[in-house]
Amino acid sequence: MDTDQNSDATEKKTVVPPSASAYLDPQYWDERFSNEEHYEWLKDYSHFRHLLQAHVKPNSSVLELGCGNSRLSEELYKDGITEITCIDLSAVAVQKMQERLRLKGYKEIKVVEADMLDLPFSDGCFDVVIEKGTMEVLFVNSGDPWNPRPETVSKVMAMLEGVHRVLKPDGIFLSISFGQPHFRRPIFNAPQFSWSVEWITFGDGFHYFFYILRKGRRSSNDEASNKRHEKPLMPSISMFHEELEGEDYIFRTNIDDMD
Ligand SMILES: C[S@@+](CC[C@H](N)C(=O)[O-])C[C@H]1O[C@@H](n2cnc3c(N)ncnc32)[C@H](O)[C@@H]1O
């Protein structure tokens, strides 16, 4: 996590939990957001703006999953993407985000308390769904990353099935993540999904993944091209470990994952 982009997260030390399981507890997020005004997970908008702009047209209707106290929605708005709905499970995050956007004059952005595992939207109503670091929460305590626990898989599939359902027939799901393609690809490519799966890396030194899933565009070529990345591109890493490790940014690597 960069210190520069999170320099105003002054209460950060008081909200980092003792163990990663806390990230699965909605109460943890409420307490954290009560004490924290802004924190960007992974990278802030400036690092992937060029990638978003290549895929999101100004007139797109956008759903952001797990907005927390990120500035992603307001940065999109400033770039002319104004039809935005943000959701978060945390009532505190939602209330504070509504207030922040109201004070800044971004009144068109809707902020709704909702569970991404049970999206309260009708079928085919968004051009774009975006998540940044939110899907990662579902992988906390997932066990072996090559063979996640059934509870993890069923939550992730509930989320993805909801995303697929609320996307328009030619909609796009953008997932900004630490999750490496060898772990994400089998999930994204589950047979019930009609989307194609591509990714781009960004970031200096450490690479983050910008996944682009286009509904209705799945083809056998996607399978073939994805197979080129059967082996890990990077050591296994968890952003939650990164936060828990504190200021030293010690990444826990799994040497077995190395080529
Ligand atoms: C790791 S933070 C990412 C926040 C933000 N997207 C960012 O990039 O800074 C995860 C966010 O997801 C929210 N969250 C966790 N589980 C959720 C769920 N089932 N539905 C909706 N939001 C959820 C948390 O409250 C938190 O705001």
- Amino acid 47: pLDDT: 95
Pairwise pLDDT comparison (76 vs 6), residue with the higher score: 76
Counting ligand 1 atoms within 8 A of each CB, the residue from 137, 141, 240 with the most, and so the one to mutate, is 137
Does pLDDT of 16 surpass 70?
yes
Tens of pLDDT, residue by residue over 46-67, are 999 999 999 999 999 999 999 9
Residue nearest to atom 17 of ligand 1 (CA): 89
Scanning the chain, the segments in alpha helix (DSSP H) are 12-15, 26-35, 49-55, 72-78, 91-104, 135-138, 150-166, 181-188, 220-226, 239-245
Q: Over the stretch 187-231, which tens digit does the pLDDT of each residue have? A: 999 999 999 999 999 988 778 999 999 999 998 766 555 554 444
Q: Which residues contact 210 (CB under 8 A, 6 or more apart)?
A: 48, 51, 174, 175, 176, 199, 200, 201, 202
Q: How far apart are CA 219 and CA 127, in angstroms?
A: 20
Residue 14 pLDDT level (bands cut at 50, 70, 90): very low
Which has more confidence, 25 or 160? 160
Separation of CA 228 and ligand 1 centre (Å): 31
Could you tell me whether strands 167-177 and 208-214 are parallel, antiparallel, or unpaired per DSSP bridges? antiparallel
Residue written as tokens 């929460």?
A: 137
pLDDT of residue 95: 98
Q: Ligand 1: residues within 6 Å at CB?
A: 29, 40-41, 66-68, 70, 87-90, 93, 115-117, 132-134, 137
For residues 120-141, average pLDDT: 97
- Give me the chain's average pLDDT, please: 85
Query: Confidence class of residue 2 from pLDDT cuts 50, 70 and 90?
Result: very low
What is the chain's alpha carbon radius of gyration, rounded to the nearest angstrom? 17
pLDDT at 89 over 70: yes
| Burial of residue 231 (number of CB atoms within 10 Å: 0-12, 13-18, 19+) | exposed
- Angle formed at CA 137 by CA 135 and CA 143, multiple of 5 degrees: 105
Is residue 73 over pLDDT 90? yes
Residue partners of 159: CB distance under 8 A and separation at least 6:
65, 116, 117, 135, 138
- Under the banding of pLDDT at 50, 70 and 90, the label for residue 238 is low
CA quadruple 125, 172, 114, 154: dihedral sign: positive
Question: What predicted TM-score, i.e. pTM, was given to this entire model?
Answer: 0.87
- Which of 134, 140, 159 to probe ligand 1 with, by most ligand atoms within 8 A of CB? 134
